Amino acid sequence: MRWIVLACLLWGGLGSGKAWGAERAWALPALAEQAALRDATLAKRLTEILPGLMRREGVDLWLLAAREYNDDPVLKTFLPASWPTARRRTLLLIHDRGPERGLETLALARYGVGQFQAAWDPEAEPDQWRALAAKLAELDPRVIAVNRSETFALADGLTSTEYEQLVAALAPAQRARLQSAERLAVGWLETRLPEERARLEEAVALAHEILAEGLSAAVVMAGKTRTDELGWWFLEALRQRGLDSWFHPSVSVQRVEERTPEGEARSLYQTVIQPGDVVHVDFGLRYLGLHTDTQQMAYVLRRGETAPPSWLREAMAEGNRLQDLLTSAFRTGRTGNEILRAALAAAEAEGVRGAIYTHPLGLHGHAAGPTIGLWDQQGGVPGPGDYLLFPHTAYAIELYASYAPPTWGGLRLRIKLEEDAFFDGQAVTYLAGRQTAFHLIESP
């Protein structure tokens, strides 16, 4: 049975017999070109983004440390594209010498590290930590920021062992200058260059293209295709394009026959997709170092049905309205919790039911930045929800609206949407549009 499913995944729609792997105009650049593109982007980020962030946060020296295969997630974003991990122990120093002279980037490591100039001679000083202490004494920074954070996992990459050895190597006056690089690390991870925004637009457009194909009769045969098979199809569709996902795609259905004790349609997984089902997909891809995160919905036409139910348009409009209320609450300097409260208050005033659980997006899928609700924390999220909204940042606008189809006997349907968007400091723009109508899957 498994080889039959795999053959369907590779060579055609799941049960449809229609090939989907035909030649396409879209293609990734060659690997060498991808690496050159990512390295050039890093070089530009170091000159156009990082100096302003360091001065905003009052940091004149940022120290990053990691050992091979135990990478600090922030340090990893400074590595050359050809380096999958740090080598041996890698110590990176970013020293702000002021607006006139700019940043100095140094590597106290056995090897030079891309944009970071080698600054340790192991023959002259075999002890790497002692060499670091000497370099810090030479630079004499006011602040030595390191990646330790109780709030953001991505900004907490300095391991306990590395921290203990660092503290032991420093003079008392140097230890007194240690402080958390939390806000600097988050700022570095969340801020996008214009070309990164454009690249993210390409990635989201591709995600939409794949979702449209997967949520069609070219791939889904109602009454035969299982939700879990469709999830694997999305992974194969990425593999055929030389890409991969950062999480396993989630596919579920809601139907009038299945309800929760609270009177909502139950999300069903690992089940055969049937005529009349409302299908939901959660799907995210990696593209040239950036990540997408998209949820869209489809309706499976019943046999003999030539048009979808009229209420589908109103249901989607309810979800789109909740999106509008949320993005209208975005203001530079507001916290994630303040945005959440404003959006939920506006939704309550209009009688829109649902929940908001929006997150930053970029170098990671669930990225660093202000958390705007969690599905189980609609009163606010202490810590990540208290972080401020800054310009030039991207978000997965993730939420659901609760809608009661008139023909479902009071049963409420969740319109679960997630669309990737960019905040430029003034307004939120969807990176490649958003879903405003259900995909339709014809029944055989």
Closest residue by Cα to residue 29 from 17, 41, 38:
38
* Mean pLDDT by groups of 10 residues along the chain of 444 residues: 35 37 63 94 97 97 96 96 91 96 94 92 95 96 97 97 97 96 98 97 97 98 97 97 96 93 92 97 97 98 92 97 98 98 98 98 97 97 98 98 94 97 98 97 94
pTM reported for the whole predicted model: 0.91
Interatomic CA distance for residues 418 and 314, integer angstroms: 18
User: Cα–Cα distances in Å, from 364 out to 239, 285, 406?
Assistant: 19, 10, 40
Let me know whether 142 and 243 are in one domain.
Answer: no
Q: How many domains does the chain have?
A: 2
Interatomic CA distance for residues 442 and 444, integer angstroms: 7
Residue 233 sits in a domain of what CATH number?
Answer: 3.90.230.10
Let me know whether 17 and 67 are in one domain.
Answer: no
SS percent in the chain: helix, strand, coil, step 5 = 35, 25, 45
Let me know whether 17 and 106 are in one domain.
Answer: no
Interatomic CA distance for residues 157 and 151, integer angstroms: 12
User: What are the tokens at 235?
Assistant: 């992974």
Let me know whether 406 and 341 are in one domain.
Answer: yes
Interatomic CA distance for residues 222 and 3, integer angstroms: 21
Let me know whether 85 and 17 are in one domain.
Answer: no
- By the 8 A CB rule, do 382 and 375 touch? no
- By the 8 A CB rule, do 267 and 254 touch? yes
Let me know whether 209 and 334 are in one domain.
Answer: yes
- Chain position carrying tokens 């340790």: 120
DSSP-derived letter for residue 385 is: G
pLDDT the model gives residue 439? 98
User: What are the tokens at 267?
Assistant: 């999300």
Let me know whether 246 and 352 are in one domain.
Answer: yes
Interatomic CA distance for residues 248 and 254, integer angstroms: 20
In a domain, 29, yes or no: no
pLDDT the model gives residue 6? 34
Q: Which domain holds residue 433?
A: 2-24+194-441
Interatomic CA distance for residues 37 and 33, integer angstroms: 6
User: What are the tokens at 189?
Assistant: 């991870």
In a domain, 44, yes or no: no
In a domain, 382, yes or no: yes
Let me know whether 170 and 201 are in one domain.
Answer: no
